[in-house]
Amino acid sequence: MFQTLNKVRDSFSPVTANHISLQCFCLSLTLATLCASGCQKPNVYQPPPPPKVTVAKPVQQTVDVFLEENGQTEAVGRSEVRARVQGFLEKIKFEPGKDVQAGDVLYVIEKEEYVAVRNGANAELAAANAGLQSATASIKVKKADLIAAEVKVEASESEFRRQDQLYKEKVVSKSVWEESKAIRDGALASRLQAKAAIDAAVANKETAAANVTRAKASLQKAELNLSYTDVKALISGRIANTQVKLGNLVESGTHLTTIIQRDPIWANFNIDERHLLLLVNEKNETGEKSSEYDYKNLKAFLQRAGDDGFPFEGHLDYIDQEGVDQGTGTLKLRAVFKNSANQLFPGLFVRVRVPIGKLENALLVPEKAIGRDQSGAYLLVLDNEEKVARKNVTLGTKYGELIVIEQGIEADDRVVIDGIQRARPGSKVDAESITLTFNAKPNRDETEQQQSPDSPPQKPEQ
């Protein structure tokens, strides 16, 4: 039994020794780790350095004030070419999309029927003229008959007075007296008949003259209808495609094509009440207040989508005489522009700019400093504690890279120019100051009050 126990003890001795060595190693490692951690400082949160930004004071400068609004171009002339007589279309004498001049023949309608009517009217006029000449000659004859009747009346009257005296003296018989009286009465009746014939001849002449007038009117109408077989352009401009093809029957009033006069061209736009008052108070070069007629002396500039600046120059042409629209609070204006190169098309959405005065001591900042959100445009400025603050602003005209700030900041404000993405209202920043310079030429970029051609119109300012 003792031998068995010794064998079991001998078999467990290496395992026990190895287990004790492992425990000692783990204890040593734990003590080393505690000693090492005790020699280092504890972890403490270190805040990041303030973000670096660039700030500058606004540029203070007297600048031009522009009225700038969205508008739409309109052709100054638009003529629908329509047939004025019935007939088959024989010729088309223009190329669609080309320029035509007033009076150019565009279409030819068959003429044979209208030539025949014109010839018949000519014949009727000739017959009427012949009738008039005959009636005129008849009047002359009747007047000659009247003169002869007057002579007979005078002679018969003298003879009757002589026979009457002789009858009273009983020199002649009663039958002689009665014969003399009958001759005198016949002469009087002939004279009355001659006068009646003259009246009838005059009436016939008037009828003949009326026939001539009617025949002339018929001829004029026939010639007019014949002339309408040549369908001509009523205005100069660019012609559209034909609506009726060759060989088709056209009626009076059939729409054939359209001519658009695009030189010059109008641009219609609206302004709100605030800009209207600025326009009314503007003074012309002589220093006198502009009257309504003088508005045409105000220049206007036009910009298409994609244009660099406002390359088209014109002037105001019309101001709506009905006044401000009560529903929208805006007034309709119209400017006119030359378009000899056909670079403007009717119906284009454009920007129209009208210089209406100067703004003294305007404040300008770079446009890249402008932030925008649902509340509108804003700037970030630094206060006395070097903390960032937000100021909502109203934007005006752009001048180069600068933009006018109409409301919202002061001349001494330090505006964050670069680094606005890193600056947060209420936080401190590491600011570097710079000085801004002014570019006197306004450019095409839009301001907060401007809209794209596809955007809805703005409500008028209250």
Say yes or no to pLDDT of 198 above 80: yes
* pLDDT tens digit sequence for 376-393: 899 999 888 888 899 999
Confidence of residue 448 (pLDDT cuts 50, 70, 90): very low
Measured distance CA(313)–CA(300) in Å, rounded? 6
**Of residues 397 and 367, which shows the higher confidence score?**
367
Query: Which three-class secondary structure string do you get for 394-417?
Result: EEEEEECCEEEEEECCCCCCEEEE
What's the average model confidence in pLDDT over 349-374? 88
Confidence of residue 442 (pLDDT cuts 50, 70, 90): low
* pLDDT tens digit sequence for 8-53: 445 544 444 444 455 555 556 555 554 555 555 566 767 778 888 8
Please tell me the predicted confidence (pLDDT) of residue 29: 57
Tell me the CA distances in angstroms from 236 to 78, 108, 231, 248, one per residue in order: 10, 19, 14, 26
Q: pTM for the whole thing?
A: 0.61
Any idea what DSSP says for residue 428? B
Say yes or no to pLDDT of 128 above 80: yes
Highest mean pLDDT: which range of 17-21, 78-82, 308-312, 319-323:
78-82
Residue pair 309/303 in contact (Cβ under 8 Å)? The answer is yes
* pLDDT tens digit sequence for 71-126: 999 999 999 999 999 999 999 999 999 999 999 999 999 999 999 999 999 999 99
Residue pair 384/392 in contact (Cβ under 8 Å)? The answer is no
Please tell me the predicted confidence (pLDDT) of residue 27: 58
CATH no., domain 113-228: 1.10.287.620
Please tell me the predicted confidence (pLDDT) of residue 235: 92
Confidence of residue 348 (pLDDT cuts 50, 70, 90): very high
Dmax of the chain from CA atoms?
Answer: 229
CATH topology classification for 84-109+231-253? OB fold (Dihydrolipoamide Acetyltransferase, E2P) (2.40.50)
* pLDDT tens digit sequence for 260-301: 999 899 999 998 887 777 777 765 444 555 454 467 778 899
Residues of the chain with CATH 1.10.287.620: 113-228
Task: Point out the least confidently predicted range of 199-208, 302-311, 449-458.
Answer: 449-458
DSSP bridge partners of 64: 358
Residues of the chain with CATH 2.40.50.100: 84-109+231-253
What's the average model confidence in pLDDT over 143-161? 84
Mean pLDDT of the residues in the chain? 81
419 backbone dihedrals φ, ψ, rounded to 5°? 90, 20
What's the average model confidence in pLDDT over 423-440? 82
**Of residues 175 and 250, which shows the higher confidence score?**
250
Residue pair 232/421 in contact (Cβ under 8 Å)? The answer is no
Please tell me the predicted confidence (pLDDT) of residue 435: 86
Calculate helix-pair angle for 112-168, 174-228, nearest 10 degrees.
170
